[in-house]
Amino acid sequence: MIAWQKQETAYVGKVQLADGHWCKVVLVGARTNPQGAMVVVAGKGGEAVKPRPFADCVAAFTPDTVMEVYCTQERAFGDRGLEPPDLP
């Protein structure tokens, strides 16, 4: 399960890639927005590499991670009337 944190209007979660590396997924808008979910990976020396849309990276994640990201995105920004994520 991803430990999501709310940062202003975004939801940020530290996520493990299928190859064992870690990244952050940042949710900022609905799934209809191609940049509504972005993946941020640390580069050499810890600096961030240019964020990439989550939809372009789904093959790098396990299926359960993909499902949780999309469900959280829908709850946070979707128009289906789902309860927003309950975060501390």
Question: Is there a domain that residue 87 lies in?
Answer: no
Q: What is the total count of domains within the chain?
A: 1
Q: What pTM value is reported for the model?
A: 0.87
Q: How many CB atoms lie within 10 A of CB 51?
A: 16
Question: Is there a domain that residue 73 lies in?
Answer: yes
What is the tens place of the pLDDT at every residue in 30-44?
989 999 999 998 777
pLDDT at 83: 83
Question: Is there a domain that residue 9 lies in?
Answer: yes
Question: Is there a domain that residue 85 lies in?
Answer: no
Phi, psi of 86 (to 5 degrees): -95, 100
Report the distance separating Cα 9 and Cα 30, nearest Å: 12
Question: Is there a domain that residue 84 lies in?
Answer: no
Domain with 63, as residue range(s), is: 4-77
Please identify every stretch of the chain with a pLDDT value under 70, giving residue numbers as ranges: 46, 48, 88
Question: Is there a domain that residue 16 lies in?
Answer: yes
Report the distance separating Cα 28 and Cα 33, nearest Å: 9
